[in-house]
Each structure stands twice: as C-alpha cells, then as structure tokens.
Chains A and B, each alone.
Chain A
Amino acid sequence: GAVVSQHPSWVICKSGTSVKIECRSLDFQATTMFWYRQFPKQSLMLMATSNEGSKATYEQGVEKDKFLINHASLTLSTLTVTSAHPEDSSFYICSARDTDASYEQYFGPGTRLTVT
C-alpha cells in the first residue's frame, strides 16, 4: 500500500515551453502534498506545499507564477513549469501525506526535467 506515482518520469522540453508534472496517491487520500526539487549532487529542497482545494504555499525564492500548482482532488496534485528555461532543469519529487495514517509521507519516484 501507500504508493505515490509521478508522470512523466522524464521529459525534455524546449526553452520557453510549459511542462506539467502529475503526482498521484494511488491507494490513499492526500489532503496535502509537497513538491521538492533536487539539483545535481544537491539535496532535496522544498518548493511548495500543495493543499487540496486551496492555494499552494511557496517557499521563499520560488516563483509562484512560474511554478503553478493545482491540487484539485484528494489524489492528484500537478506542478506546471511555465516558460521553462535551462536553469529549471532538475529532478522534481513529490510526496503525499496520508492524513488517515499518522501523517506519514510517501514519496513519488521523481520526474527528470531537461530544458534545452
């Protein structure tokens, strides 16, 4: 149980285009999901907290107009990177919090974004 999926697992896009990444909790409901970013040889850094039915909360330094987050259901959150630039190339990982199981978090497998 407690599986989180991400789609796509990798994507290559051209500079200036937008890319949508999906994070799904497959067998539990997640009121809250977290989006992290990991640059090469760096650790995971929290980008934003996604809450079902309300606006996301962004960490300092993360542009909310560039990284659009939508959490429209209890099992799906999406991250859209708008007008992508090469410096947005990174590994994006989501986690979902199971509110029915002691707030334990489960991580998705990640999405590798490369902007050319």
Chain B
Amino acid sequence: KQEVTQIPAALSVPEGENLVLNCSFTDSAIYNLQWFRQDPGKGLTSLLLIQSSQREQTSGRLNASLDKSSGRSTLYIAASQPGDSATYLCAVPWPNQAGTALIFGKGTTLSVSS
C-alpha cells in the first residue's frame, strides 16, 4: 500500500526566510499529488495540485515540484510570513486513479516568527 512521509515534522523560521518542505511516497505510479494547508482545529485548504505529467506548479509564493521517479515532492515557500504558520500536508490518491480517496502524510507544522 502507498505510504506518504513528510520531513521535517516541525519547522520554525524567522520571517522572510525561504523554506522547503519535503514529501516522499513509496509507490511512484501516482495519479497526482496535492498539497494542503491546515490551520489549528480547522479543515483543509488546497494549495497546489500537480498532475503526474507535470514537474511543478506555482501559486504566488508557493512552488511545488514533483519527481515521480524518486518518489518525492517539495513545497517551496518564498519570503515566509507569520501568516504562513500552519500544518502543511501532502496527499496522493489511492488506489492510483482519479477520484479515489487520499492518503496523507503526517504533515509539517510550520511556525514563522515576526
């Protein structure tokens, strides 16, 4: 079965730093990969979705890359702000096809200090 791992589990940085969050998956035959943000006690906000044929997606200060062959994705956050403080989750569909449920990593909890 597919497993999703996120490193690091927690990260604290000062405002303005660029940072990278890592996600790895065991079965490289993924349909797509999605990054979410979760604020404490809240639901999920979809940030970026990368299709298996894509190498990266960008939205504002966020850039997500995908390397299927190595089973990795990274989320790059530029010029971090205190408002970026949240838990970031990556997820892939399983079984590996459109419209199936998602398998999530445990997330990286980010704290950006002002």
Interface residues of A (CB under 8 A from B): 6, 32, 34, 36, 42-46, 49, 91, 93, 95, 97, 99, 102-103, 105, 107-110, 112
> What would 22 A/B residue contacts be, using CB atoms closer than 8 Å?
A34-B101, A43-B89, A43-B104, A43-B106, A43-B107, A44-B91, A45-B104, A49-B101, A95-B101, A95-B102, A97-B99, A102-B98, A103-B98, A103-B99, A105-B99, A107-B36, A107-B44, A107-B46, A108-B43, A110-B42, A110-B43, A112-B41
Minimum-distance CB pairs A-B, first 5: A103-B99, A109-B43, A103-B98, A110-B43, A43-B104
CA–CA, A32 and B106, complex, Å: 24
CA–CA, A57 and B109, complex, Å: 31
Which DSSP category, helix, strand, loop or mixed, fits chain A's interface?
strand
Asked if A43 and B99 make an inter-chain contact with CB atoms under 8 angstroms apart, the answer reads no
B105 CB, min distance to chain A CBs, angstroms: 6
Residue among A49, A105, A110, A112 having the largest count of chain B Cβ atoms under 10 Å: A105
Within 8 Å CB of A105, what residues of B? 99, 102
CA–CA, A17 and B36, complex, Å: 33
CA–CA, A55 and B99, complex, Å: 18
Q: Taking CB as reference atom, which chain A residue is nearest B51?
A: A102
Within 8 Å CB of A95, what residues of B? 101-102
Within 8 Å CB of A46, what residues of B? 101-103
Per-residue CB proximity of B16-42 to A under 8 Å, as 1/0? 000000000000000000001000011
